[in-house]
């Protein structure tokens, strides 16, 4: 070892000295002795390593408490930090899909704090059924006879198939062999459920006779899958649920439908593009309809199956139901969300998903103009800031071709460099509450459709 290195090593403080230093007292109070001792050992190792590798003390050597505080705060940062979703996609799967209504938030907190009547019927003082209360609500909202709730819609599809057609053939149109992001593919789910997929028709055209000709003694189900994340245009033909139900009735086969998103209200009433409704499919005679809790419904992650009582009972009795069932927090949030649908007059203001989807372009543009001056002060030297019209999307596979007119703030680097743009976006992603936009056309776009906390955003971006 060189004399230089030896003298550097001798400058390293002892854990004990640091712990007794006044600068560490607040860290000790906040994080505790055990955690701090472990951290200081690590920091001392890091410092020795720095001396060994580069013959100098680390930069933070001048202030150990500041470095310790920084490291502790980084390691305490939640993996589920709130962000500003300014991507322009309202139901963003990577950002947790639907924002919950305040009523749902309160219901979850209540269910977490105390024992609840989850599988307990106070009237008969006996064991109830965990989906019971929600099933009545769902029947009220969809016209179905009964309902079953599981962890997500992928689980709902798996359970429907496993309980109704394990070991049997399930007939699906080739135009509906959907892949949803995250490896949910209809053929794979079929296999997992123990069903044999029978594909009929072609990618663009499937006729009723295609289904009829594919039916054998071993057919268990006819299935419709909503092509939620793509759209086939041109020379096309699909068989409607109604037609398929007529065939199913004739041949004694149930028809099931995976609706994906599915809306409990008619979105055209709110000036939004139409989306299939579970109520309509139930009225058409479909035996089981499945959809997600956290897509257009605007609730927690859940898979909802509504339909005929006898089939729902089969799902409830199936061993997979126990593995896929929803927990009390999910059920509490879902119940509170569904309750909001009983009061359609206030739905668009109380349900965040619908509130954000129904914001008008004019209102969003005004918001952009309000924010622009303060942002120009802070970022104007390096970026040209404009208010631009833009098209937001609903997301999560809903209505892929229908876009919602809105407005965005755009940041164009004055130096014209992509690296300046990338640095801006990266800086914002690293904020305490990250601000997430999207880069396109040589600019950074902040689509303001999902911005409700204006003051919070300014605080982040101006800090
Ligand atoms: C989204 C979707 C699913 C998966 O639903 P999750 O709630 O994400 O599990 C399945 N099928 C269709 C058609 C979908 O759109």
| DSSP code string of 343-385 | -HHHHHHHSHHHHHHT--HHHHHHHHHHHHHHHHHHHTTTEEE
Using an 8 Å Cβ cutoff, are 161 and 318 in contact? no
Tokens of 378: 């802070």
Task: Count how many residues are written for the chain.
Answer: 463
Write the residue with the smallest CA distance to atom 1 of ligand 1: 260
Cβ proximity of 281 and 257 under 8 Å: yes
Q: What share of the chain is helix, strand, coil (3-state, %, to 5)?
A: 50, 20, 35
Other CB atoms within 10 A of residue 213 CB: 11
How far are the Cα atoms of 282, 286, 336 from residue 308, in angstroms, in the given order?
A: 9, 9, 24
- CB atoms < 10 A from the CB of 153, how many? 27
Contact residues for 52 (Cβ-Cβ < 8 A; gap 6+): 5
State the Cα–Cα distance between residues 396 and 354, nearest whole angstrom. 14
pLDDT of residue 234: 87
pLDDT of residue 80: 92
C-alpha distances in angstroms, 197 versus 165, 245, 407? 10, 19, 45
Q: Tell me how far apart the alpha carbons of residues 72 and 66 are, in angstroms, rounded to a whole number.
A: 10
What pLDDT does 150 receive? 98
Ligand 1 nearest-atom number relative to CA 93:
8
In eight-state DSSP terms, residue 398 is B
Angle, in degrees to the nearest 10, between helices 102-113 and 328-340: 150
In contact, 254 and 248? CB cutoff 8 Å: yes
| Contact indicator for 210, 200 with CB cutoff of 8 Å | yes
Residue 69 is inside which H or E element, if any?
helix 64-76
What φ, ψ does residue 368 adopt, rounded to 5°? -60, -40
Structure confidence at residue 399 (pLDDT) = 57
Cα 323 to ligand 1 centre (Å): 18
C-alpha 149 to ligand 1 mean position (Å): 14
- Ligand 1 first shell, C-beta below 6 A: 152-154, 157, 178, 180, 184, 225-226, 228, 258, 260-261, 292, 303, 397
Ligand 1 centroid distance, CA of 126 (Å) = 35
| Residue-level pLDDT at 6 | 86
Q: 265: which residues sit within 8 A by CB, 6+ positions away?
A: 277, 341, 344, 347, 354
Q: Which of 149, 180, 305 to mutate to test the pocket of ligand 1 (most atoms within 8 A of CB)?
A: 180
pLDDT (tens digit, 0 to 9) for every residue of the chain, 463 residues total? 677 888 999 999 999 999 999 999 999 999 999 999 999 999 999 999 999 999 999 999 999 999 999 999 889 888 899 999 999 999 999 999 999 999 999 999 999 999 999 988 877 766 678 998 899 999 999 999 999 999 999 999 999 999 999 999 999 999 999 888 767 899 999 999 999 999 999 989 999 999 999 999 999 999 999 987 788 888 889 999 999 999 999 999 999 999 998 899 999 999 998 889 999 999 999 999 999 999 999 999 999 999 999 999 999 999 999 999 999 999 999 999 999 999 999 999 999 999 999 999 999 999 999 999 999 999 999 999 999 999 999 988 665 567 999 999 999 999 999 999 999 999 999 999 999 999 999 999 999 999 999 999 999 999 8
* Ligand 1 binding pocket mutation candidate from 228, 292, 300 (most atoms within 8 A of CB): 292
Q: Cβ-count burial of 420 within 10 angstroms (0-12 exposed, 13-18 middle, 19+ buried)?
A: middle
Q: Whose CA is nearest to atom 6 of ligand 1?
A: 153
Please, are residues 375 and 385 in contact by the beta-carbon 8 Å criterion?
yes
pTM score: 0.91
Distance CA 278, CA 142 (A): 6
């Amino acid at each position: 070892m060189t004399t230089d290195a030896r003298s550097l090593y001798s400058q390293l403080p002892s854990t004990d000295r640091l712990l007794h230093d006044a600068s560490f007292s607040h860290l000790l109070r906040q994080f505790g002795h055990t955690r701090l001792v472990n951290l200081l050992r690590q920091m001392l190792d890091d410092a020795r390593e720095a001396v060994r590798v580069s013959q100098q003390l680390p930069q933070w050597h001048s202030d150990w408490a500041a470095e310790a505080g920084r490291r502790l705060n980084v390691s305490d940062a939640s993996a589920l930090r709130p962000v500003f979703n300014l991507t322009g996609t309202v139901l963003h799967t990577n950002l947790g899909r639907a924002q919950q209504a305040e009523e749902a938030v309160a219901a979850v907190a209540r269910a977490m704090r105390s024992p609840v009547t989850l599988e307990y019927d106070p009237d008969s003082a006996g064991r109830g059924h965990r989906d019971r209360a929600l099933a009545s609500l769902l029947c009220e909202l969809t016209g179905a006879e009964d309902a079953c709730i599981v962890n997500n819609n992928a689980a709902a599809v798996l359970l429907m198939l496993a309980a109704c057609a394990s070991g049997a053939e399930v007939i699906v149109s080739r135009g509906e062999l959907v892949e949803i992001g995250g490896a949910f593919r209809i053929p794979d789910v079929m296999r997992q459920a123990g069903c044999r997929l029978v594909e009929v028709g072609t990618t663009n055209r499937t006729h009723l006779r295609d289904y009829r000709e594919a039916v054998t003694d071993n057919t268990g189900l006819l299935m419709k899958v909503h092509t939620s994340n793509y759209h086939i245009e041109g020379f096309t033909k699909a068989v409607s649920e109604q037609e398929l139900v007529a065939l199913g009735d004739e041949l004694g086969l149930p028809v099931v439908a995976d609706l994906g998103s599915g809306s409990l209200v008619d979105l055209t009433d709110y000036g939004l593009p139409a989306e299939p409704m579970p109520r309509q499919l139930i009225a058409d005679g479909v035996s089981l309809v499945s959809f997600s809790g956290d897509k257009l419904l605007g609730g927690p992650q859940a898979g909802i199956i509504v339909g005929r009582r006898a089939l729902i009972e089969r799902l409830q009795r199936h061993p997979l139901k126990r593995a896929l069932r929803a927990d009390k927090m999910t059920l509490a949030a879902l119940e509170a969300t569904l309750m909001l649908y009983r009061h359609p007059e206030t739905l668009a203001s109380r349900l965040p998903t619908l509130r954000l989807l129904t914001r008008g372009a004019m209102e969003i543009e005004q918001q952009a103009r309000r924010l622009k001056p303060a942002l120009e002060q802070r970022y104007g030297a390096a970026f040209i800031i404009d208010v631009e019209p833009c098209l937001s999307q609903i997301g999560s596979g809903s209505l892929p071709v229908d876009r919602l007119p809105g407005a965005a703030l755009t940041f164009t680097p004055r130096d014209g460099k992509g690296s300046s743009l990338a640095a801006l976006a990266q800086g914002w992603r690293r904020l305490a509450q990250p601000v997430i936009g999207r880069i396109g056309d040589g600019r950074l776009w902040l689509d303001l459709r999902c911005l409700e906390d204006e003051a919070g955003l300014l605080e982040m971006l101006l800090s």
